[in-house]
Amino acid sequence: MRVFLGLLLASAKVEAAKQNTSIKLARVIKVLGRTGSRGGVTQVRVDLMDDSGRSIIRNVKGPVRENDILTLLESEREARRLR
């Protein structure tokens, strides 16, 4: 897990450098539910780990649970709520 997270952060930093943007880390505080046509996407509420104290809703593909750390290439866009 630790090696995977390190590789993920390294690849995200390279991608952010290409796009000339900064990456943001976010901690999953609540799993809201499954979405997508086949349930392959999980909607989560994340708390941005910078000093803003802001929380937003994001869609995550793949396994995710509370207290996971996500690497966001952009943090301005927020997902629509599930119905």
pLDDT digits (tens, 9 = 90+) for 10-62: 566 666 555 556 788 999 999 999 988 888 899 999 999 887 788 999 999 99
CA distance 69 to 49: 9
Q: Are 80 and 58 in contact (CB under 8 A)?
A: no
What is the distance between the alpha carbons of residues 18 and 16, in angstroms, rounded to a whole number?
A: 5
Q: Give pLDDT, residue 45.
A: 95
**Residue 2's pLDDT band (cuts 50, 70, 90):** very low
pTM over 0.85: no
Distant-in-sequence, close-in-space partners of 66: CB < 8 Å, separation ≥ 6:
28, 29, 30, 31
Please tell me the distance from the alpha carbon of residue 60 to that of residue 20, in angstroms, as a whole number.
23
Phi, psi angles (nearest 5°) of residue 58: -130, 155
